[in-house]
Chains A and B, each alone.
Chain A
Amino acid sequence: MNFVPKMNRRSFVIGTAAAGGGLAIGFDLPFGSGTAQASGLTGTEVGIWVALKPDDTIVVRVARSEMGQGTITGLCQLVVEELEGDWSKVTYEYPTPGEHVKRKRAWQSYSTGGSRGIRESHQYVREGGAAARLMLLQAAANEWKVPVDQLKAENSVITGPGGKRTTYGKVAEAASKLPVPAKPALKDPKNWKIVGKPVKRLDTADKVTGKQVYGFDLKLPGMLTATIKESPVFGGKVKSFDAAKVAGMKGVKKVLKVGDTAVAVVADTYWQAKTALDALPVVWDEGPNAKVSSASIADTLKAGLDAPQAFVGAQAGDAKAAIAGAAKKIEAVYSYPYQNHVCMEPMNATARYTADKCEVWVPTQDGEASFAAVIAASGLPAEKCEVYKINLGGGFGRRGAFQDYVHQAVRIAKEMPGTPVKLLWSREEDMAQGRFHPTMQCKLVGSFDKDNNLTGLHMRLSGQSILAAVRPAIVEAQKGRDPLVFQGVADASVLGEHSLGYTFPNVLIDHAMRNPHVPPGFWRGVNINQNCIFMECFIDELAHAAGQDALAFRRKLMEKHPRNLAVLNAVAEKIGWGKPAPQGRFYGLSQMKAFNAYVAAAAEISVTGGNKLKVHRIVAATDPTYAVNPAQIDRQVSGSFVYGLSAMAWQECSVKDGRIAELNFDTYNSMRIAQMPKVESIVMPSGGSGPWGGIGEPTICVAAPAVMNAFFRATGRRIRTFPLKNHGIELV
C-alpha cells in the first residue's frame, strides 16, 4: 500500500495521496533475493497469517509491534474470528523483517505508529483468517470426498455429513498445499463472536513474573554491553576524547567514536561501561547551535504569528474580512513546549556483526525501518541482514521512524566482529537525544457581529514541522506545507483522518513554519496534543465572550459533524453538563477527530488555594467505527490521559546552550497514581462501511483542554502556555 521499494520522490507522493487522507511514512528498503537465516516461524502455514500445530494450537502471525497497546490481542481476535478458531488455543509470533522482505512484503506494513495497527490492517488480516478457514474446510472436504458446502467450521472443529468430524490441526498439512483464496468474503460484523468482545490479553502472564524479555534484558553468549554519549548540542560533533584515561578501568573492552557525533564504551557490564563513559574526557565541537535557548526559539516562533507567509490547512469564506469588519474581536496566543517520549525502557539495540551477517535484536515500532537501518549501517545486502523484534517497554512514537540506536549498535558491533554488543542508553541519554514533540505557538482571533454571532476564526500556528525534518519529500511535494501540523483542525481535503469538527462561517487555519535545531518526532498523538488545546480552549473563550454555554456554543457549529457531536453529547450527558456540579467542582469539555476516531472528554475538577488542581473524573467517549476489544480500548483511553495530563502539568524539554536541560524524572515529572483521575470510558462504535478509527492516540488530546476549560470556570484564570508548573499550578 504505502510502501514503494527504491521509491523516487514522485512515486512516494502518489503512495501518500492514495492513503485515504492518511500519511504514509515510508523509507527506502531494497528487496533481497532471500535471507540466509531460517525463518524461525513455527507450525504448518495455512496462508501467511495462520499456522497450525498438530495439537490444534493456532499461531497467528503478527506484523505490527506490541508496546503495551494490545495490538497483538486485537489482531489475533480479527484473524481468529474469521478463522472460526478456538480462542483458547491461540498464540502468536512475529515474522522477522528479513523473512518478510524475502517474501516480498507478504505481511504488508510493520509500522506501528499513527494508531494504525488495527485500523489499517483489519481488512487483510481478517481475509487471512477467512482464507485459512476456507483452505482447512477444502482439505477436509477433499479427504472426505464430499462437497465443501456440506461442511461446517466452528471452534477449530470441522464437521460434515454422517457425523464426520476433524480438527484444524489434523487437516492443516493438506490445507497448506491448497491455493490461498483471494478476497474471501468476510463475516457481517453483527455475527462477530470474538471481535468486539473484551477478551483477555494474550501477553499478560510474563509481565507479572519478570519473565518477559525486553531489549534491555537480552542475553546472548559472549555478549558485551555498551553505552553511549552523543553530542548534547544537536548538530555538534566529537572533537577529541582521551580513551587512555578509561581504557584500563575494570571490565572496559573498547572505547570508540561512533560516527562523527558520539563516543561509546564497551564493557562486560552496563555499570562498568557507564562508569567509564562518565569518566571519559570528551571535547565537543558544539557547532552553530550552542547558543540557542528556549527564549530564542520562542522569539523565532513569535515572529511567525504575524508573518505574511503561511501555509493553509483549512479555509472557508473570508476570515480576515470577517475579522476586519467585526463588532467584537477576541484574541489569544497559546504555546506548547517540546516533549520527550520517556519510554520506561530507554532506547537500546543489540547487534552482532560479521562480514557475512548482521543481526539485530531491537524493541521497535517498525521492524522494516529497523531492517533498513541494519542494511544501511552494516553495509551488507538485505539477504545478509536480519532483525529480531522484541516487545517494547513503551514506544509512543520514539521507536518507529527513528532508528538512531540501531545505527549506533551496528556501528559499534562492526568494530568488534563476531561479538554481540548490547547498546543501552542511560535515562539521561534518552532525555538528551529525543525526537521531540515539536514546539508550537498559536494565535487565535475570533470575530462576532453585533448580535454576538460568531462570524470568523483565524488560527495561526507558528512552529516546528516534523515532516520537514523527517519526511521532507512530503513537504516538498506540498510546496513547503506540512499537512500534519493541521491534525485535528484540517480541511478534509488536506488531512481527512484528522479533519476539523466545526463549520465556521469564515475560517482560516494556517501555519508559519519555523524549524529550530531541536530534532522533532512523532510523540503519541503528534500534533493533536497542541491543536486540541488551542482549538478547544479557544472555543471556550469564544463561548464565554459571547455569554453562551460552552456546549450549546459548540453544538451550533457541529450540525454538519454528527459523529463529533455524538461523542460530545455522550460525555456531556454522563458528566451531568447543565446540571449543578457538586460543591466546589467544575466541568470542562473538549472534542476532536483524530486518526479517524471521534473522541470527546468531559472533566470534573476542583481547585484549592487557587493553584492546587485536582482532576477528579474524566468521562471520555470514543467512536472508532468498530471496537475490537473494548476492555483494551478503556485502558488505552485512561492511559492516554496519564500521558497527556503529565505533559500538561509538568513536562517541558527546555533548551539551554543548544541542549536539553531536563535529563531525568527529577526535572521532567510524570503522573503518579495519586494524581490519577477516575476515567469513565464510553466506547461507542457507530459501525458502517467507513474507515476504522485508531485507539492508542486520539483521546490523548482531549484531556488537557477539558481540564483547562474546567480550570477557567473554577478560577477565572485562562492558562495559555504549558506546562502548568510554570504558572505555579500543581496537579494534586
Chain B
Amino acid sequence: MVRLNINGRDHNVDVDGNTPLLWAIRDNVGLTGTKYGCGIAQCGACTVHVDGVAMRSCSLPVSAAVGKKIVTIEGLAVNGVLHKVQKAWIDHEVPQCGYCQAGMIMAVVELLKDKPKPTDADIDNTITNICRCGTFQEVRAAIHAAAKA
C-alpha cells in the first residue's frame, strides 16, 4: 500500500512499490486522462507533473512519487477554469485523435513555467512527445499563443 497525492487529494493505493506511477494513476486511482503509449519513456503520452517537474510516469515507480505532489491532466484546470495552454489548444484546434495531447499539454505547461516566452529552439529542445497524427504545426502555434496569453 502506498499513499499518493494526486491533484491535491491523497489516495491509498494497493500496488507494489515498483508499479509504474502511470498504472497506479490509471487503474487504481481511476484517472485515465494520462495515457500509455510506449512504457519506456519514449513517447511522453504519460507525462504528469511530480513536484512541478514533468515526468514520464510509465517509467517512474510509485515508490518514487510517494510524498510528492502529482498533477495530472485532470488537475490542470483550477475551479473549472482551463489552463491557458488548454485554452490555446482549443483555440488552435490542436488535437486530432487527441490520445497524446494530455502528455503534450503537461510537457508544455512545464516548458512555459521555465521559459514563459519560449523560442522555437526552446520548443524543439524541450517538447519531445510523439504525435502520430502529426499535430506539431498546431502545437507550435498554440505554445506561442499560450505564451502571449
Give residues of chain A (216-230) contacting chain B, Cβ–Cβ below 8 Å.
Answer: 216-217, 219, 225
B86 within 8 A of A: yes
A674 within 8 A of B: yes
**Which partner residue on chain A sits nearest B125 by CB separation?**
A674
A664-B13 Cα distance, complex, nearest whole Å: 29
**Chain A proximity mask over B5-32: 1 for CB below 8 Å, otherwise 0:** 0000000000110011001001110111
A270 within 8 A of B: yes
Q: How far is the CB of B98 from chain A (nearest CB, A)?
A: 3
Quick one: which of B28, B40, B73 contacts A209, CB cutoff 8 A? B73
Quick one: which of A210, A213, A342, A643 contacts B134, CB cutoff 8 A? A643
**Which partner residue on chain A sits nearest B75 by CB separation?**
A210
B16 touches A250 (CB 8 A): yes
Q: How far is the CB of A348 from chain B (nearest CB, A)?
A: 10
Q: Which of A474-482, A536-544, A634-642 contacts B (4 or more CB under 8 A)?
A: A634-642
**A contact residues around B105 at 8 Å (CB):** 208
B55 within 8 A of A: no
**Chain B proximity mask over A40-83: 1 for CB below 8 Å, otherwise 0:** 00000000000000000000000000011110000000000000
A296 within 8 A of B: no
**B contact residues around A671 at 8 Å (CB):** 130, 134, 136
Give residues of chain B (64-107) contacting chain A, Cβ–Cβ below 8 Å.
Answer: 72-74, 76-77, 82, 86, 89-90, 93-102, 105
A676 touches B32 (CB 8 A): no
**B contact residues around A427 at 8 Å (CB):** 36-40
B93 touches A204 (CB 8 A): yes
A207-B77 Cα distance, complex, nearest whole Å: 13
Q: How far is the CB of A99 from chain B (nearest CB, A)?
A: 25
Q: A209-B73, A635-B135 are in contact. Are A664 and B40 (CB under 8 A)?
A: yes
Q: A209-B86, A638-B134, A640-B134 are in contact. Are A672 and B128 (CB under 8 A)?
A: yes
Quick one: which of A345, A638, A673 contacts B124, CB cutoff 8 A? A673
**B contact residues around A643 at 8 Å (CB):** 132, 134
B129 touches A672 (CB 8 A): yes
B34 touches A670 (CB 8 A): no
**Chain B proximity mask over A180-207: 1 for CB below 8 Å, otherwise 0:** 0000000000000000000011001111
B74 touches A344 (CB 8 A): no
A153-B38 Cα distance, complex, nearest whole Å: 51
**B contact residues around A3 at 8 Å (CB):** none
Centre residue among A342, A345, A631 by max chain B CB count within 10 A: A345
Quick one: which of B27, B35, B128, B134 contacts A225, CB cutoff 8 A? B27
A210 touches B102 (CB 8 A): yes
Q: How far is the CB of A681 from chain B (nearest CB, A)?
A: 9
**B contact residues around A638 at 8 Å (CB):** 134, 136-137
Centre residue among B16, B36, B123, B135 by max chain A CB count within 10 A: B36
B134 touches A344 (CB 8 A): no
**Which partner residue on chain A sits nearest B34 by CB separation?**
A210
A216-B23 Cα distance, complex, nearest whole Å: 12
A478-B23 Cα distance, complex, nearest whole Å: 50
Q: How far is the CB of B65 from chain A (nearest CB, A)?
A: 15
Interface size for A (C-beta < 8 A) is 59
Quick one: which of B27, B37, B42, B128 contacts A666, CB cutoff 8 A? B42
Quick one: which of A212, A217, A631, A665 contacts B130, CB cutoff 8 A? A665
B110 within 8 A of A: no
Quick one: which of A69, A216, A268, A665 contacts B43, CB cutoff 8 A? A665
Q: A209-B77, A210-B73 are in contact. Are A345 and B99 (CB under 8 A)?
A: yes
B135 touches A210 (CB 8 A): no
B38 touches A665 (CB 8 A): yes
Q: How far is the CB of B95 from chain A (nearest CB, A)?
A: 4
**Chain B proximity mask over A248-280: 1 for CB below 8 Å, otherwise 0:** 001000000000000000001111000000000
B140 touches A68 (CB 8 A): no
A346 within 8 A of B: yes
A343 within 8 A of B: yes
Q: Secondary structure of the A side of the interface? A: loop
**A contact residues around B74 at 8 Å (CB):** 209-210
Centre residue among A207, A640, A674 by max chain B CB count within 10 A: A207
B136 touches A344 (CB 8 A): no
Give residues of chain B (101-125) contacting chain A, Cβ–Cβ below 8 Å.
Answer: 101-102, 105, 123-125
**B contact residues around A342 at 8 Å (CB):** 132
B99 touches A214 (CB 8 A): yes
A201-B74 Cα distance, complex, nearest whole Å: 22
B82 touches A666 (CB 8 A): no
B127 within 8 A of A: yes
**B contact residues around A217 at 8 Å (CB):** 26, 32
A391 within 8 A of B: yes
A346 touches B36 (CB 8 A): yes
Quick one: which of A205, A270, A665 contacts B23, CB cutoff 8 A? A270
**B contact residues around A641 at 8 Å (CB):** 134
Q: How far is the CB of B37 from chain A (nearest CB, A)?
A: 5
Centre residue among B89, B98, B139 by max chain A CB count within 10 A: B98
Q: Which of A318-326, A392-400, A561-569 contacts B (4 or more CB under 8 A)?
A: A392-400
Quick one: which of B89, B96, B124 contacts A674, CB cutoff 8 A? B124
A164 within 8 A of B: no
A450 within 8 A of B: no
A270 touches B140 (CB 8 A): no
**A contact residues around B38 at 8 Å (CB):** 427, 664-665
B137 touches A679 (CB 8 A): yes
Q: A393-B98, A672-B128 are in contact. Are A642 and B139 (CB under 8 A)?
A: no
B45 within 8 A of A: yes
A725 within 8 A of B: no
Quick one: which of B31, B89, B138 contacts A208, CB cutoff 8 A? B89
A412-B96 Cα distance, complex, nearest whole Å: 32
**Which partner residue on chain B sits nearest A642 by CB separation?**
B134
A306-B84 Cα distance, complex, nearest whole Å: 60
**Which partner residue on chain A sits nearest B85 by CB separation?**
A208
**Which partner residue on chain B sits nearest A210 by CB separation?**
B33
Q: A225-B27, A676-B137 are in contact. Are A343 and B72 (CB under 8 A)?
A: no
Quick one: which of A250, A269, A391, A674 contacts B27, CB cutoff 8 A? A269
Give residues of chain A (311-346) contacting chain B, Cβ–Cβ below 8 Å.
Answer: 342-346
**A contact residues around B132 at 8 Å (CB):** 342-344, 394, 396, 642-643, 670
A219-B31 Cα distance, complex, nearest whole Å: 11
B131 within 8 A of A: yes
| Residues of chain B at the chain A interface (Cβ within 8 Å) | 15-16, 19-20, 23, 26-28, 30-40, 42-43, 45, 72-74, 76-77, 82, 86, 89-90, 93-102, 105, 123-125, 127-140
In the A-B complex, list the 5 residue pairs whose CB atoms are closest, starting with the nearest.
Answer: A210-B33, A642-B134, A207-B98, A68-B97, A393-B99
Task: List 13 A–B pairs whose Cβ atoms lie within 8 Å, in order of A's numbering.
Answer: A208-B95, A208-B98, A217-B32, A219-B30, A225-B27, A271-B23, A343-B97, A344-B130, A391-B98, A424-B36, A427-B39, A641-B134, A664-B38
* Extra A-B contacts (4), CB below 8 Å, given A204-B93, A635-B137, A673-B127: A427-B40, A643-B132, A666-B40, A674-B128
| Residues of chain A at the chain B interface (Cβ within 8 Å) | 67-70, 200-201, 204-214, 216-217, 219, 225, 250, 268-271, 342-346, 391-396, 424, 426-427, 631, 635, 638-643, 664-666, 670-674, 676, 678-679
